[in-house]
Structure 1
Amino acid sequence: MGYFNAKIIIVYKRLFTTLLLLPFHFLFAQKNTLTGFPKGYAPEEVGKLIAYRFIDKKHALHAGKWISYPETFYWSGGLKFATLTGDTALMTLLQNKFELLITSEKQLLPIKNHVDLNMFGSLPLELYQITGDKKYFELGMPYANTQWEVPGNAKPKEKEWAEKGYSWQTRLWIDDMYMITIVQTQAYKVTRDLKYLDRAAREMVLYLDELQRPNGLFYHAPDVPYYWGRGNGWMAAGVTELLRYLPKDHKDRPRIMKGYRKMMKSLKKYQRPNGMWNQLIDEPDYWAETSGSAMFAYAFITGVKHGWLNARQYAPAARKAWMAMVPYVNEQGAVAEVCVGTNKKNDKQYYYDRPRRTGDYHGQAPYLWCVNALLEKVTD
């Protein structure tokens, strides 16, 4: 065989091998990225089901009186989805529904005296960013400001927190780290006043120092030594939200990033083989819970996209979580296996026995966060 003939045979063999392996390389790449989902799993499909479900549903009220935080976040998640997908019909429906809160349903606007109520301000501030209508700005900003304005009837402990530079609404429940963070970061986004980020960052460092355990997870509160799924989810989502906007040279960013990565490492360790996380994260015999799992997936997706987490390690974990989560969404856009609202309690069995619901807003909103994170284009 001549030299040139042998060379041609070698080239053809290499080409054949490349073509043969190409589908496997493609399949491997698809399974380890946050794109290319199969039919039924595409974020646009899932997001549309969940977002439109909200339009004609009744309010989920706090204490039977005011718009609750789960509804607030479901609403704002839908608004962001409509923006990302250019769905003007959905945007109009969501905005029209909100207009009732300014007119005929004005009594449902939350008062400004609790961490679970002040977070409502994040919703009109989201609408202000979308529409530029000043009325939304004027409605939302007092919720952010009063979180640091001590009322005359404040309790001694609340005054003590304020004297130290923290919000008087500080409780040291991990839920707070989304409730406080979301309204303060929204206030920063519409004003560009760094005091709002400084507030959120200072509060976050306090909670990291007080509640994060050596394994990276968080007790529900100092006196409740259990790693509750959605509680940890609020922290995971809150620290993720803050890192999205905290300047790279901010003095608290290294501490906050360290806490975030420590938590993500632990969550990756405790992720179930099927991609979900349990009601109590470190208890293998507990049931898989969807709202907390979605919050953790949101933190993974965002961390990978922003380069805070190693993509080779965390993108497959994020994808696995999403693929496990979607089957819990029914044809009406309702998420199943959502733990109901849960107060802290120093009783392990209490967490296991919590009722599970389908369509509970505690689960609907975090699923939309994941959808939006998957759709979002990150430029930094």
Structure 2
Amino acid sequence: MTTLTKESLEETILKVIERMKDMRGSIKETAPIGIISMENWEWPQGVGLFALYGYYRETGDRALLDFLTDWFDARIAEGLPAKNVNTMCPMLTLAYVAEETGRPDYFDLCRDWLDYVLRDMPRTEEGGIQHEVSGSANEGQLWDDTLYMTVLFTAKMGVLLKEDACIQESVRQFLVHLKYLTDPATGLFFHGWTFLEGGHHFAKALWARGNSWYTAGLVDYLDMTEQPEGVRSFLLSSLRRQADKLLELQSPEGAWHTLLDEPDSYLETSATAAFAYGMLKAYRRGYLEEAYRDSALLALDYVLGQIDADGVVQGVSYGTGMGRTLQAYRDIPICPMPYGQSMALLLLVEAMKHEGGAAEGSGSHGPKRTAESRGEGGRSDG
């Protein structure tokens, strides 16, 4: 495993940030709204912005806050796209920037988009948020991407506005999505569920990045809000079951395949970084034990090896719509993406907090598990 220093991590972080800021398309895009260039307003840019804001909070680097406000001002001046699950994603960062700067125009925009979530966003049966995206209504469908793209913003606004209805809505969305997307045999999550056509999980894909939205999103969601203890315990037990299976499925290189249980599918960097971030932070928060941190550090080593000399994160799959076959996931092209940069950034920043190796608020930890004991051997979405 690579020996890491604070200095080497900081150097890598700065390279990753610079490449994220000026990211441009390297392949012909199939998404209705471009999802590679940081000059567009869509979910990949939203994920990138959230990571940049997190690093600003860690460092106090005013230049990062200026970049964020300049980015939002430019996009707002251009005119924002139609509201849907994925275009909602940048609003999470805008909520934090509004809180930071106190700008009333940012608050007003956040309230307007929140009102759409609560009143007008299409719902499935049982009140789940229908995964409507740019170019497709996806009627009757729940996707695992939705929790990260829209529900985190809803929760954050509930805290800012002191509106418990927003918090309760976020809780409901987590519970409904987990009810229909959890694979009871593995504890992993299917990419999607439809209430139509008799109800099914499409290709029954245990897709890595979709799973990683839960791993990375939950640890931040638990920081954003307070939940009833029963709900919190349920969410954490879902994380633990998922993480247990991830330990089992981690490749000898330290990464995870884009189809988690299909070793003939390629290793995918953005999901690997998001899994590692979630498990490292969960360890630090006392939610998971040392074995999960060890797995995350092995994944960190893999991710570092995928960051080239210019700071570009390689091995990232393009936006992935709902697959009707498992082969559809294997065929998704690989190219640098903003969320590859951002998931790596979240992981690198979290890694800087683990030099001492101690978890917050936890007592003893389980025994260290080695690689041997772990058994190692369409649309513009997720």
Give the aligned partner of residue 189 of structure 2. 218
Deviations 1:207-252 (A, max 9, x none): 1111111211111122221211111112222333322334263442
Note if 1:74 corresponds to 2:48.
yes
AA aligned to 2:162 is: R
**1:314 corresponds to 2:280:** no
Moved more, 172-181 or 293-302: 172-181
Pairwise CA distance, 1:110? 2.8
Amino acid at match of 1:111: A
1:266 maps to which of 234, 242, 245? 245
* Structure 1 residue aligned with 2:368: none
Structure 1 or 2: more helix by fraction: 1
- Aligned partners of 1:84 and 1:376 also within 8 Å: no
Instruction: Answer yes or no: is the 8 Å Cα contact 2:270–2:343 preserved in 1.
Output: yes
SS in 1 for 2:248: helix
Question: Taking structure 2 as the reference length, what is the TM-score of the superposition?
Answer: 0.79
* 2:250–2:256 Cα contact (<8 Å) kept: yes
Indicate if the aligned counterparts of 1:54 and 1:75 stay in contact, CA closer than 8 A.
no
Quote the offset at 1:132 in angstroms.
2.2
What whole-Å deviation, never above 9, does each CA across 1:287-321 have from its counterpart, x for those lacking one?
Answer: 210011111111101100110001x2112111111
Tell me the CA shift for residue 76 of structure 1: 2.3
Trace 1:149-168 onto structure 2 (pairs within 5 A).
149-150=119-120, 158=123, 161=125, 164-167=126-129
| DSSP 3-state at the match of 1:356 | coil
Q: State how far apart, in whole Å, the 2-side matches of 1:339 and 1:57 are.
A: 15
Correspondent of 2:93 among 111, 116, 123: 123
Identity %: 24
Tell me how many residue pairs correspond in the alignment. Answer: 332
> 2:71 — aligned with what?
97
Q: Give the distance between the partners of 2:157 and 2:332, measured in 1 at CA.
A: 35
Equivalence map 1:1-380=2 (5 Å): 37-38=4-5, 41-42=8-9, 44-57=10-23, 63-64=32-33, 67-103=41-77, 105=78, 107=79, 109-112=80-83, 114-150=84-120, 158=123, 161=125, 164-167=126-129, 171-213=141-183, 214-221=185-192, 222-247=201-226, 249-310=228-289, 312-357=290-335, 359-375=336-352
> Post-superposition shift, 1:176?
1.2
Structure 1 residues 234 and 148: alpha-carbon distance in aligned structure 2, compared to 1, 3 A threshold: same
Change (3 A) 1:90 1:150: closer
Q: Distance in 1 between matches of 2:360 and 2:105?
A: 30
CA distance in 2 between counterparts of 1:46 and 1:305 reads 22
8 A contact 1:337–1:356 mirrored in 2? yes
RMSD of aligned alpha carbons: 2.7
Question: Partner of 2:141: helix, strand, or coil?
Answer: coil
- Flag the 1:248–1:219 CA change in 2: closer, same or farther, 3 A: closer
> Quick check: 2:190–2:207 contact (8 Å CA) kept in 1?
yes
Contact 1:298/1:370 (<8 A) preserved: yes
SS in 2 for 1:320: helix
- Partner Cα distance (2:8, 2:188) in 1: 29
The Cα shift of 1:89 comes to: 2.4
Q: Structure 2: which amino acid aligns with 1:46?
A: T
Structure 2 CA distance for aligned equivalents of residues 220 and 130 of structure 1: 34
Instruction: Return closer, same or farther for 1:40/1:287 CA change in 2, 3 Å cut-off.
Output: farther
- 1:24 paired residue number: none
Offset at 1:200?
A: 1.3
Amino acid at match of 1:371: L
The alignment partner of 2:69 has SS state of helix
Superposition deviation, residue 141 in structure 1: 2.5
Aligned equivalents of 1:256, 1:379: Cα separation in 2? 19
Amino acid at match of 1:253: R
- Give unpaired runs (5+ residues) of structure 1: 1-30
Q: Is the 8 A contact 1:125 1:141 kept in 2?
A: no
Residues 361, 91 of structure 1: alpha-carbon distance in 2 compared, 3 angstrom cutoff = same
Asked which structure has the greater CA Rg, the reply is: 1
Distance 2:298 2:65 in 1: 30
Q: Secondary structure at the match of 1:116?
A: coil
* Code of the aligned partner of 1:232: N
